């Protein structure tokens, strides 16, 4: 079976480089267009199920996919974004100013960081992997998981047998698609961060933040 990981579309906080976490930010106009193009792109794919983080930016992206297949989106809390704790709602410059040493660690060794009032990458990895395991056991076809940048980065690490120190080696743009095929008990990466369908919007509108 195939696990298709889809990042949600763009929000104003992506553009402004604001840490989002559990803040329930809606898609902006560009994000809604991205989600629509993503749904069209997957229209001919035989999708068996669509799972989503409960946050609006992910759920609205998931609905743009599920609507083409007559499916209801299955909400899954374990696909929620990293809890950024005290960083949520702050811009990158604000975090650098208030949490300089910790931000430097996040930028160089993110696998060692426990965000104040929030989670670690290992926390995200454990909960997200448990979803993947259940989806693989439940389905034999293609399942889409609509989630967030951090979740996809740590899942790519986990499914490739890498530790979270490789977090920054993986790019995940808004609405980027990553697909793993589960065969003989192993996960094989067959597509990563595919955003070719977003070309009508212009490459400058994509972002790994």
Mark whether 192 is an active-site residue: no
* Structure confidence by residue, pLDDT tens digits, 27-42: 999 999 999 999 999 9
Across 34-59, average pLDDT: 98
Closest CA to 180 of 135, 126, 125, 127: 135
In terms of DSSP bridges, do strands 186-194 and 177-183 run parallel, antiparallel, or are they unpaired? antiparallel
Across 59-82, average pLDDT: 99
Give the start-to-end residue ranges of the domains of the chain. 2-83+120-205
Mark whether 148 is an active-site residue: yes
208 class by beta-carbon count within 10 Å (0-12 exposed, 13-18 middle, 19+ buried): middle
pTM above 0.85, yes or no: yes
Write down the catalytic residue from 68, 148, 186, 192.
148
Write down the catalytic residue from 8, 69, 139, 192.
8
* Structure confidence by residue, pLDDT tens digits, 150-207: 999 999 999 999 999 999 999 999 999 999 999 988 999 999 999 999 999 875 555 7
Residue where the block lists tokens 């009032």: 117
Cα gap 38→123, rounded to integer Å: 29
CATH classification for the domain delimited by 2-83+120-205, as one of 3.90.1310.10, 3.40.350.10, 3.40.50.720, 3.40.50.1240: 3.40.50.1240
Cα gap 174→205, rounded to integer Å: 9
């Amino acid at each position: 079976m195939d696990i298709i990981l889809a990042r949600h579309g763009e929000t104003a906080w992506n553009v402004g480089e604001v840490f989002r976490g559990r803040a329930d930010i809606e898609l902006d106009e560009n994000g809604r267009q991205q989600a629509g193009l993503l749904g069209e792109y997957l229209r001919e794919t035989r999708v068996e199920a669509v799972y989503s983080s409960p946050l609006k930016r992910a759920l609205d992206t998931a609905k743009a996919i599920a609507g083409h297949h007559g499916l209801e989106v299955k909400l899954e809390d374990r696909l929620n974004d990293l809890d950024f704790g005290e960083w949520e709602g702050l811009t990158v410059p604000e975090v650098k100013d208030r949490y300089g040493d910790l931000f430097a660690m996040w930028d160089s060794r993110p696998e060692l960081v426990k965000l104040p009032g929030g989670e670690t990458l290992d926390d995200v990895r454990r909960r997200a992997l448990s979803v993947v395991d259940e989806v693989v056991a439940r389905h034999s076809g293609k399942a889409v998981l609509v989630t967030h940048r951090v979740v996809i980065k740590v899942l790519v690490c986990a499914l490739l047998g890498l530790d979270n120190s490789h977090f920054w080696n993986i790019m995940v743009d808004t609405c980027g698609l990553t697909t793993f095929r589960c065969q003989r008990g192993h996960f094989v990466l067959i597509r990563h961060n595919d955003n070719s369908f977003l070309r009508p919007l212009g490459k400058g509108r994509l972002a790994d933040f």
